[in-house]
Amino acid sequence: MSAEVSTAHATDVDRKQARVSIGMPVYNGEDLIGRAIETVLEQSFTDFELIIVDNASTDGTAEIARRFAERDPRVRVHVNDSNIGAAPNFDRAFELASGEFFKWAAHDDLMEPEFLQRCVDALDADSTAVLAYPKTMIIDGDGRDVEPYELKLPTDSDDVVERFASLLRGHKCFEVFGLIRRKELATTPGMGAYSHGDGVLLARLALLGRFVETPEFDFKARRHEKQSMAMLGDYQQYAVWFDPRLKDKWIFPQWKIHWEFYKSIRRAPIERRLKRQCRRHLWSWIWTRRRLLRGDVTYHIRRLIKKWTGREIPGRATEKRP
């Protein structure tokens, strides 16, 4: 896959390596990407590069991004030749990064000016932490505060088993938009091209080290009708959104999620006894979700019955994204 690159005031050879790399994967985000970029460029911590990876948008997203690149040498724009799917586009943004720290930035979310500075300071102060993230405020489509996101998981625990087990619970995965040590992120497979790939990635990072939360609401997570979780009905559709190659294939997203969590434990650089403890938490979690595993199977049974008989079999096969 090739990419079109737009750089304004500096070439790749001349550009000083920034300490922080920010990857912004985007597809058809012309309505909101401008303000998202502005909040990155307004950061009090200035030693960063912003890499915008346009996933072959059909609207004016790329043109908007190029205008910012023309004005600020910290901005680079890459345009994919074709839509490679959400997860591969996230990974593409990371592949293009070179900073000591890395963060993903969604095209529809906002950052307060101290976001980066506080997270950099937190990681500098704690060598055992692999990820720093701020508190989250949910905002609406117009950028107005809706409600604070209050769930605080014990991902700052010194106990690796507690960290892993906590990330099996239902949560919004906002931590994935925090600041991550690039070295540790590079040891993972990246953003999984399957449903809940962000949640699995967070579990893999938690097996490597602690997460630290900064005390201010510096992250503004936008809730609006056009975002993926609002437009897609269930995990089957969400899996295809992550990886379009799965369209019309036999996929079992719930089974895939559980298998990837299992692989996370197997490959984690921790003692065997700790792996056994993590597995016990995983098996317990799987048992509570056995109905969803059955749902993956019955979904395809209904598909076959409809194909063979033309009759639609009522029933819900899979759950919606949280």
The answer on 128 and 241 residing in a single domain is yes
pLDDT at 146: 96
pTM (predicted TM-score): 0.86
The answer on 256 and 113 residing in a single domain is yes
d(CA 247, CA 14): 42
Residue 304 lies in a domain: no
The answer on 276 and 133 residing in a single domain is yes
The Cα diameter of the chain in Å comes to 64
The answer on 160 and 11 residing in a single domain is no
pLDDT at 299: 75
The answer on 120 and 104 residing in a single domain is no
Task: Give the tokens for residue 193.
Answer: 């091209």
Count of the separate structural domains present in the chain: 2
The answer on 210 and 129 residing in a single domain is yes
Residue 171 CB-half CA count within 13 A: 22
Cβ of 70: how many Cβ atoms within 10 Å? 14
- Domain of residue 85, residue span: 1-108
CATH classification at residue 99:
3.90.550.10
pLDDT in tens, 17-72: 999 999 999 999 999 999 999 999 999 999 999 999 999 999 999 999 999 999 99
Last residue of a domain, one of 90, 108, 126: 108
pLDDT at 9: 42
d(CA 38, CA 109): 11
pLDDT at 224: 67
Strand-pairing partners, residue 133, are 213
Residue 11 lies in a domain: yes
Residue 307 lies in a domain: no
Residue 303 lies in a domain: no
d(CA 187, CA 296): 30
pLDDT at 7: 47
pLDDT in single tens digits along all 322 residues of the chain: 445 554 444 444 456 799 999 999 999 999 999 999 999 999 999 999 999 999 999 999 999 999 999 999 999 999 999 999 999 999 999 999 999 999 999 999 999 999 999 999 999 999 999 999 999 999 999 999 999 999 999 999 999 999 999 999 889 999 999 999 999 999 999 999 888 999 999 999 999 999 999 999 999 999 966 655 544 456 667 667 667 676 767 778 889 999 999 999 999 999 999 999 999 999 999 999 999 888 888 877 776 776 677 666 565 544 444 4
The answer on 200 and 121 residing in a single domain is yes
d(CA 244, CA 56): 13
Residue 202 lies in a domain: yes
Residue 127 lies in a domain: yes
User: Going by C-beta distance under 8 Å and a sequence separation of 6 or more, which residues neighbour residue 37?
Assistant: 24, 50, 52, 64, 65, 68, 75
The answer on 87 and 125 residing in a single domain is no
End-to-end, the C-alpha distance of the chain in Å comes to: 33
pLDDT at 259: 96
Residue 256 lies in a domain: yes
- E strand residue ranges, 17-120: 20-26, 48-54, 75-80, 101-104, 110-111
Residue 42 lies in a domain: yes
3-state percent helix, strand, coil for the chain, nearest multiple of 5? 40, 20, 40
Last residue of a domain, one of 108, 123, 158: 108
d(CA 252, CA 246): 10
The answer on 33 and 9 residing in a single domain is yes
d(CA 257, CA 185): 19
Strand-pairing partners, residue 52, are 24, 77
The answer on 169 and 117 residing in a single domain is yes
Is beta strand 210-222 parallel, antiparallel or unpaired with respect to 48-54? unpaired
The answer on 127 and 272 residing in a single domain is yes
The answer on 153 and 165 residing in a single domain is yes
What is the gyration radius of the CA atoms in the chain, in angstroms? 20
pLDDT at 238: 62
